[in-house]
Amino acid sequence: MTRLPTVGFVALAFSTGLAVAACGTDTDHSDKAASSDSGACVRKQDVQPIATRFPVFGEIARSEWCAVNLSAGRSDVPGPTDIRLAGELTAADSGRVHALLGDSRWHFRAASLPSLPAKIAQELPEGEDNWMASEEFDRSVSAGLYAANFYLSETSSAVVFDTVNPVSPTNSAPAVVE
């Protein structure tokens, strides 16, 4: 009859038990963790994070935006978290948006807005339906570092943005949006 080594068997059983127990443990019950991982759109109006990421629009008079954790509730996926930054900005200089639309390098075309978080969609200018988009412009603003779609208004200085993991042009590392 073959005998199993007792010490090795006990050690294996003990470590397996620890590994299984650790998989079901959730020790962080803080409100901060719950709110940052909820995937909810919390509407913000701070222009600085937007102006830093999208300097092409110049000074920003106002902005409504939210950052949504795209992997909220997905604890099975380790690694970096993707953040959707969506919102609307109003350039302080309306001539800036019109100049971008008139630049022939961008090939702007009429476009429909994407599905935006409800808290952002409800803040869009009423009756605004003359949105223009350009894949060339999107690639230029993002420098190919992140996914981006920009929709510029033909009739106002409004811009709708819908991006994932946007970074400042001076910093290629994704920054935390708070």
Kindly report the backbone phi and psi dihedral angles of residue 91, in degrees, each rounded to the nearest multiple of 5, phi listed first. Answer: -70, 140
Q: Is the confidence at residue 51, as pLDDT, over 50? A: yes
Dump pLDDT digits (tens) for 159-178.
999 999 999 887 654 444 44
- Rounded to the nearest integer, the mean pLDDT of the chain is 78
**Higher model confidence: residue 129 or residue 50?**
50
pLDDT of residue 80: 77
Dump pLDDT digits (tens) for 54-109.
999 999 999 999 999 988 766 666 667 899 999 999 999 989 999 999 999 999 99
CA dihedral 50, 55, 58, 59 (to 10 degrees): 40
pLDDT of residue 77: 62
Backbone angle region of 80, left / alpha / beta, with phi > 0 → left and psi within -120 to 50 → alpha: beta
pLDDT of residue 30: 30
pLDDT of residue 125: 73
* Residue 170: closest CA among 135, 143, 152, 132: 143
Q: Let me know: does 91 contact 157? Beta carbons within 8 Å.
A: yes
